[in-house]
Structure 1
Amino acid sequence: MPEGRFTPAKLRRVLAGTCARLGLDPAGARLLRFTNNAVFTLGSAPVVVRIVGSTKLRHRVGTVVRVAEHFARNEVPAVRLLAGLDQPLEVQGYLVTVWDRVPLTGPPPTPADLAGLLRRVHELPPPDGLAEWEPLVTVRARVADAEDLSSDDQRFLIDRCAEIQDRLDTLEFPLARGFVHGDAHPGNVLPGPDGPVLCDFDSSCVGPPEWDLTPLAVGRERFGDPPSRYTEFAAAYGFDVTRWPGFAVLRAVRELKLTTSVLPILRSHPPVRAELRRRLADLRAGRTGTAWTRYR
Structure 2
Amino acid sequence: MLTGEFGNIRSVLARACRTVGLDDSDARLVRCVNNAVYRLERHPIIVRITLTPGLRRRALAAVEAARLLDRHRVPVVQPARGVPQIVHVGEHVITFWMRAADTGRVPTNVELARLLRRLHRVPAAGAALPRWDPVTDLRTRIHDARTRGWPCADLDLLARRCDAIETALATVRFQLPESVIHGDAQVGNLIATPGGTIWCDLDTACVGPREWDLVPVAVRQLRFQHRTDHHQQLADAYGFDVTRWPGFPVLRELRELKLAAVGLPIALDTDARTELRRRLHSIRTGDTTTRWTPYR
Higher mean Cα deviation, 273-282 or 117-126?
A: 117-126
1:233 equivalent in structure 2 = 234
Quick one: percent identity of the two aligned structures? 44
2:181 equivalent in structure 1 = 180
Give the drift of 1:78.
Answer: 1.0
1:190 equivalent in structure 2 = 191
1: CA distance, partners of 2:107 / 2:50? 26
Counterpart AA for 1:207: G
Cα RMSD, aligned residues only: 1.6
2:225 matched to 1:258?
no
2: CA distance, partners of 1:206 / 1:286? 30
Say which of 82, 85, 95 aligns to 1:84: 82
Tell whether the 8 Å contact from 1:52 to 1:94 is kept in structure 2 after alignment: yes
Structure with greater contact order relative to length (CA < 8 Å, sep ≥ 6): 1
Counterpart AA for 1:243: R
Give the drift of 1:175.
Answer: 0.4
2:273 equivalent in structure 1 = 273
Structure 2 counterpart SS, 1:142? helix
Tell whether the 8 Å contact from 2:69 to 2:122 is kept in structure 1 after alignment: no
2: CA distance, partners of 1:134 / 1:20? 35
TM-score (norm 2): 0.94
Counterpart AA for 2:292: W
Structure 2 counterpart SS, 1:293? coil
The list of structure 1 runs, each at least 4 consecutive aligned residues, that deviate by more than 4 angstroms after superposition, is none
Tell whether the 8 Å contact from 2:266 to 2:272 is kept in structure 1 after alignment: no
Give the drift of 1:204.
Answer: 1.2
1:140 equivalent in structure 2 = 139
1: CA distance, partners of 2:271 / 2:67? 35
The superposition leaves residues 56-103 of structure 1 with CA deviations (integer Å, 9 ceiling, x where unpaired) of: 221222211110111222221111100123311123552100000011
2: CA distance, partners of 1:68 / 1:110? 22
1: CA distance, partners of 2:276 / 2:290? 14
The superposition leaves residues 191-240 of structure 1 with CA deviations (integer Å, 9 ceiling, x where unpaired) of: 11211111111111111100000011111100022343211111110100
Structure 2 counterpart SS, 1:99? strand
2:207 matched to 1:209?
no
Structure 1 counterpart SS, 2:221? helix
2:16 equivalent in structure 1 = 18
2: CA distance, partners of 1:283 / 1:133? 23
Higher mean Cα deviation, 121-130 or 269-278?
A: 121-130
2:76 matched to 1:75?
no
2: CA distance, partners of 1:174 / 1:192? 33
Structure 2's unaligned 5+ residue stretches are none
